Chains A and B, each alone.
Chain A
Amino acid sequence: MEDTTSLEQEKENKEQEEAEKPWERKIPSSSQDSEPASSDPWEVEQGREIGPPPKNSPPRSPQSKDSTYLDDLRTPASPSHSSPRELSFIPSVLALAKQNLAIPSPSDRTTNEIPEAGKLHPDLLEQPSDKKEPIQHHSSQPEGNTCQLPQQPKPLLQRMRNVSHNDKPKGQRFDVFQEEDSNSNYGLDQTEPGASEAAPSMLETAIRNAKAYLLKTSSRSGFNVYDHLSNVLTKILDERPEDAVDIIENISQDVKMEHFNKKLDTLQNENEMLPTYEIAEKQKVLFLHGHLEGADQELEEEIVENSLPNIMESAFYFEQAGIGLGTDETYRIFLAFKQLTDTHPIQRCRFWGKILGVEMNYIVAEVELREGEDEEEVEEEDMAEERDNGESETDEDEEDELPKSFYKAPPVIPKEESRTGANKYVYFVCNEPGRPWVKLPSVTPAQIVVARKIKKFFTGRLDAPIISYPPFPGNESNYLRAQIARISAGTHVSPLGFYQFNEEEGEEEEEPEGGRDSFEENPDFEGIQVTDLVESLSNWVHHVQHILPQGRCNWFNPVQKNEEEEEEDEGKEEEKGEESDYIEQEVGPLLLTPISEDTEIQTIPPWTTRLSSNLIPQYAIAVLRSNLWPGAYAFSNGKKFENFYIGWGHKYSVDNYTPPVPPPVHLEYSSGPEVTEMDDPSVEQEQAFKAAQEAAALASEENEETEEDEDEEDDYD
């Protein structure tokens, strides 16, 4: 910038000098004319006014005059003597203004014009920053040619006014001045001419004082007004923002901030950017992954083709319905899935959805592992049982001392085997594509039962505790798993006929009870018209088993093991629990039941169907939105279908959540002689009692034999 300006500056200087000639010729004359006007009182006043810059805000009138001046300058109709000036004036002034600001101490020759430039450019740029005019004007003067100094302030102003009235004869100029000055209230020459001899030195000192004041360094920040203003103006002229005056405060602030930024950069930048690079680095691995394994790609493909779902394709369909993550994010997830299928023995997997958390989100993959790959589950179950046992053991230790609780925990309902019921699939989650996939533990019925009673936000940390009432058995990973199971059971639907029960395979014990739980794709499925799918909910069926109130998909009869615990069991079952004393078997809707049979949520239908586009219905797809689990969607184009969930992982209810009431308080011990408080017996009573006891002892001795006889008789009955 400075180079160009210096080049320009040279050029402009020449022009300026040329253009200046008429001025110079004129200046002496006018200044001489007005010599008496530049008197001591004026200087003093001016100095005072400049002194505190904020006060020195002249009224609006000069501005308007300046603008008329500008107009005049631009109109070619102005008289001949101003026209040569006019041509070179505007550009030169601008250039000089720049130059002046960029280089605070320019050479002698140019400084003479600088005040002018400083004065004029704001007008040219249409920014009436009144404050700056006088400051620029005066402060730069002392550096100028001292010979002209005494004359300068005045002539400048005069010229300003002159030009606006330059159609008037030259001879009248002085008069014009007098009039104008008195009108314009510019604070320059209300005073009458005084002693002209002392003027130069006084003016000079006043100017020096003013500049010295402006250059005074702030004790707090170390800046001064002079430099700051020149920086601000440089910035404005460099950047040329629109309507700069509207944002001059901010520019001023920015200029100040720049001083600080440099210092902070070294302190802050490193830390701030670290996570950005970290995740970028991790995701880079995803993108590189394909290339690294180029060698055994053929081998890989066989597996990959089976297991890796075409997420982009389903994302495309969901996008038609206005659902889904951005293309970019989806692709990253896609890559993350590739990583998952490459690193784990996976038979089949599916993008289940995304669960939003308070701190982080979960991306959930539904996975079917290859045969024989699922173990390690047993340990967890044992842990849970041990915990329960532990509690009862501690009770037994203190048995002899304290009264024993009659409460017996309801029997623990065993969790379902992997690959059946709620544990049919294994779920992997990760917070962000590129981060490690974590396998969720399989779900226990108790977790599902409690999850139904609580409503908590996910945090995004799998090990976060769930603090709730009733207490949740496990941490967030378990809760997440339970919610996933519930959402899947409630919202995974497919078009009617897509799946069929497989005939040959059937588990004998289960079939009569919970309905068949295995199905296969129907090879003969011919697709359903999209309009039919939209119009009738009976064309959609659930293909995930309903979870019974017990927390299992296949009913487990707790009575088989220990029959005494029958009575306690009622409390355990809620929600549709049609439990009599005999524990009736819980029955849910069978697998592949049409969703038209789903229950309503207080007059709100459980599903909303929509055609993805009304504008072009012939290529639209059917979209199903669950109202029970907001965020659960399904689409079908007649042949293909997919389910997807994105949301907070909570069930919808019309009424607000009410935490369950605590169970009823146990009854007090029945009041009897052992636990009732009585008055201490008086001495007479004690003696009477003693006497009565002795009498009774005597009597009992006699009676004993007869009682025993009776007992024996009873036994023999």
Chain B
Amino acid sequence: MDAESLLLSLELASGSGQGLSPDRRASLLTSLTLVKRDYRYNRVLFWGRILGVVADYYIAQGLSENQLAPRKTLYSLNCVEWSLLPPATEEMAAQTAVVKGRFMGDPSHEYEHTELQRVNEGDKAFEEEVVVQIKEETRLVSVIDQIDKAVAIIPRGALFKTPFGPIHINRTFEGLPLSEAKKLSSYFHFREPVELRNKTLLEKASLDPSLDFMDSLEHDIPKGSWSVQMERGNALVVLRSLLWPGLTFYHTPNTKSYGYVYVGTGEKNIDLPFML
């Protein structure tokens, strides 16, 4: 959700029950304005909150003018002082995939993971236990990246691709019509397209290249990993991810207001296939 319209956005996303306390809200409004100035971001998003056992991480993201350019992620524990997180790498993802359980809320906390490593010494090969230390900060970076890639979404038409390539906010976007708002195909993953390239020409034929340049949610795996609900008597459409419980996307049909926020434990719901 845009940091500038934070209050309205929180109200719209409040159906999931996870808001911000008044002091957090106030401090976010103040500090994110400063973040925008200091880091010279075009747009600052309040990304959400990862609940730790001891403390919570508050996450914000800075966007440059090209909306799909790599986003800068910042975190804060007190909503006032923000620190920049390094960009996520695949190595990080592989490293942190072994960590289970809740976040602690201390970026310097180290998870210990015992790994069996095969050691070759001459002809003999034997397995040795190696304890790997994984910093919580690394895990945080990786989890945010995963959530961004998997479930950060925007309505169709909110962004458009300029003929020169960069992706800009579509100023003429006036919200999805009600009939479209209930369809998963009207929502796109807010990331570089992955699936689009695999589509056949026939499937691509009906796409508008300036609008349909991202993957739609329609073919997300597993099917049914989104809960689409109309709230307040069709005045608000809310999408909740079942894969990453805690992610709430809201959009008021026929208006420009849309956004997503994640408030959760930062754990993927790997039980999803059993739960549907």
Contact = CB atoms under 8 A, between A and B. Distances in A.
Interface of A: 241, 246-247, 249-251, 254, 268, 272-273, 275-280, 283, 319-329, 354, 356-361, 455-457, 602-605, 608, 612-616, 625, 627, 630-631, 646-648, 650, 652, 654-657, 659
A627 B102 contact: yes
Contact of A457 (B24, B177, B234, B276): B276
A319 B102 contact: no
A338 B29 CA distance: 36
A31 to B, nearest CB: 40
28 contacts: A249-B210, A250-B160, A251-B172, A254-B172, A272-B178, A275-B234, A276-B235, A277-B233, A279-B234, A319-B19, A322-B19, A326-B11, A326-B12, A326-B15, A329-B15, A361-B15, A361-B229, A455-B271, A456-B275, A457-B275, A604-B101, A605-B53, A625-B51, A630-B51, A647-B17, A650-B275, A656-B270, A657-B274
A457 B170 CA distance: 36
B22 A328 contact: no
Contacts, number: 122
A250 B170 contact: yes
A614 B78 contact: yes
Nearest to A625: B51
B201 interface: no
B21 interface: yes
A608 B54 contact: yes
Size bin of chain B's contact surface: 35 or more
Contacts of A655: 100
A657 B272 CA distance: 9
A630 B103 CA distance: 13
Interface string B44-67: 000000010110000000000000
Q: Is the interface of B mostly helix, strand, loop or mixed?
A: loop
A333 to B, nearest CB: 11
B179 A630 contact: no
B242 A358 contact: yes
A615 B23 CA distance: 8
A604 B177 CA distance: 46
Contacts of A321: 21
Contact of A322 (B18, B179, B230, B233): B18
B231 to A, nearest CB: 8
Given A247-B170, A319-B22, 8 more contacts: A279-B234, A319-B21, A323-B18, A358-B224, A456-B274, A654-B100, A654-B101, A657-B271
A646 B17 contact: yes
Contacts of A272: 177-179, 234
Contact of A356 (B16, B232, B274): B16
B124 interface: no
Interface string B1-17: 00000000001101111
A34 B177 CA distance: 57
Contact of B53 (A247, A279, A604): A604
Contacts of B275: 455-457, 650, 657
Contact of B242 (A268, A279, A457): A457
Given A247-B172, A326-B11, A359-B227, A276 B233 contact: yes
B214 to A, nearest CB: 18
B9 to A, nearest CB: 11
A372 B129 CA distance: 66
Contacts of B21: 319-322, 612-613
Contacts of A254: 172
Contacts of A608: 53-54
Given A322-B20, A358-B227, A627-B102, A250 B234 contact: no
A320 B235 CA distance: 27
Contacts of B271: 455, 656-657
A185 to B, nearest CB: 24
Contacts of B101: 602-604, 654
B17 A325 contact: yes
Interface in B90-118: 100-102
B227 A325 contact: no
A54 to B, nearest CB: 14
